[in-house]
Amino acid sequence: MTDVTVRQFADVVGLPVDRLLAQLGEAGLNALDADDTISDKEKMQLLTFLRSSHGRSEKSASISQPKKVTLKRKSHSELKTIGSRGSAARTVSVEVRKKRTYVKRADLVAEEDDRLKQEADEKARLLAEREAKQQAEKDALRRAEEAATRRVEEDRKQAEESKRKLDEAETLKVQQETRQADEQAQAQARAAQEAQQQKGDNERKSKRQESGDRHTKYGRQELHVADGKGGRRRKKKTRRARGSIQPSGEHGFERPVAPMVHEVELPEAITVSELAQKMSIKGAELVKSLMKMGVMATINQSLDQDTATLLVEELGHVAKLVSDDSLETEVEALTARIKSAEQVSRAPVVTIMGHVDHGKTSLLDY
């Protein structure tokens, strides 16, 4: 709707121009003359002011206004029909009824907004439920993984504890065996020393007896004299012993003082027992040396080449590093050397076998 003047608007609403100008001034509009124009917005402002001045607010007015308007319309018309075979024409009255319903656009917009809001709330609720469900599944999966990790860690700790206890028991057993072996060796050494000392005493006694019996050419015999011609036996002067012979209590065989140095071949992996055999010592001593070096190992445990080298050098021997395929290399080299060597004749080898004292040596003398 276009802008109209105050005069035209007064004619439409049926009010005098002065009264309309006064109402416009009360409503806060700047219309001072009948020829001033007013817009649709100013008309709505005037209407709102008049309603509020008559005790009707916008809310009550909006409530009292109908949300839906239904219009019904009737139209009458006449229709002439021509009869057949010369009959007279007839006039038919036709009534047309029309019904049209108008709905307030603001109500439609509000209903649509409410529907969209409800749909948005429902979608938000479903999304929140789905996210909560996914989060719960993630939490359950995380707790299951943590429980599995804890079980694996507990199993690993139990296995390590069992292995540690087994190694300690085996090490204790080796130490006990070593201590028993040392005690047994000491007891055997004392017994051998006592036996050697007893044997030396017996030999010295027998030698003194033999020297007393053989002081003449024919040995010691008895001399018979007549009665009454016995002389007075002179008392022998006792000689001061030059020095009393004390048994030394030592064995007849003494171990060499200089240590035996072995050249030990060390493969890439070797057990403690095999290394002890190559070094000609007891496995318990190797276990003790490893414990001094800070390595907890058993007699059947495998050592790498570096650890074995340090252990051999610690005990004063010479380590010779060999690879796993060194034996095959030596065999191939020996085979090649045999094939390339010159073959010569040699004397036959004769083997004489027989029992003791059956003449083998005498046969060789001939």
Query: 330 with 267, same domain?
Result: yes
Q: Is the pLDDT of residue 216 over 60?
A: no
- Report yes or no on 116 lying in a domain: yes
The winner for highest mean pLDDT among 17-21, 67-71, 175-179 is: 175-179
What pLDDT, on the 0 to 100 scale, is given for residue 136?
Answer: 93
d(CA 201, CA 199): 5
Among 104-118, 221-235, 253-267, the minimum mean pLDDT is found in 221-235
What pLDDT, on the 0 to 100 scale, is given for residue 241?
Answer: 45
- Report yes or no on 319 lying in a domain: yes
Query: 75 with 138, same domain?
Result: yes
The winner for highest mean pLDDT among 117-121, 178-182, 242-246, 256-260 is: 117-121
Residues 102/69, Cβ–Cβ less than 8 Å: yes
Among 21-30, 78-87, 190-199, the minimum mean pLDDT is found in 78-87
- Report yes or no on 274 lying in a domain: yes
What pLDDT, on the 0 to 100 scale, is given for residue 11?
Answer: 82
- Report yes or no on 322 lying in a domain: yes
- Report yes or no on 186 lying in a domain: no
Q: Is the pLDDT of residue 223 over 50?
A: no
- Report yes or no on 93 lying in a domain: yes
Q: Is the pLDDT of residue 310 over 70?
A: yes
- Number of separate domains in the chain: 3
Query: 71 with 57, same domain?
Result: no
Query: 13 with 75, same domain?
Result: no
- Report yes or no on 168 lying in a domain: yes
d(CA 174, CA 165): 14
> Between 66 and 179, where is the model more confident?
179
The domain containing residue 18 runs over which residues?
1-65
- DSSP of 92-138: EEEEEEEEEEEE-HHHHHHHHHHHHHHHHHHHHHHHHHHHHHHHHHH
Assign residue 330 the CATH number of its domain: 1.10.10.2480
- What is the pLDDT of the chain when averaged over all its residues? 78
Residue 227 DSSP one-character state: T
Domain boundary among 10, 42, 65: 65
Q: Is the pLDDT of residue 80 over 80?
A: no
66: pLDDT confidence band, cut at 50, 70 and 90?
A: low
Among 1-15, 57-71, 341-355, the minimum mean pLDDT is found in 57-71
Query: 274 with 326, same domain?
Result: yes
Residues 316/258, Cβ–Cβ less than 8 Å: no
d(CA 316, CA 336): 36
Q: Is the pLDDT of residue 175 over 90?
A: no
- Report yes or no on 21 lying in a domain: yes
Q: Is the pLDDT of residue 224 over 50?
A: no
Domain boundary among 46, 65, 84: 65
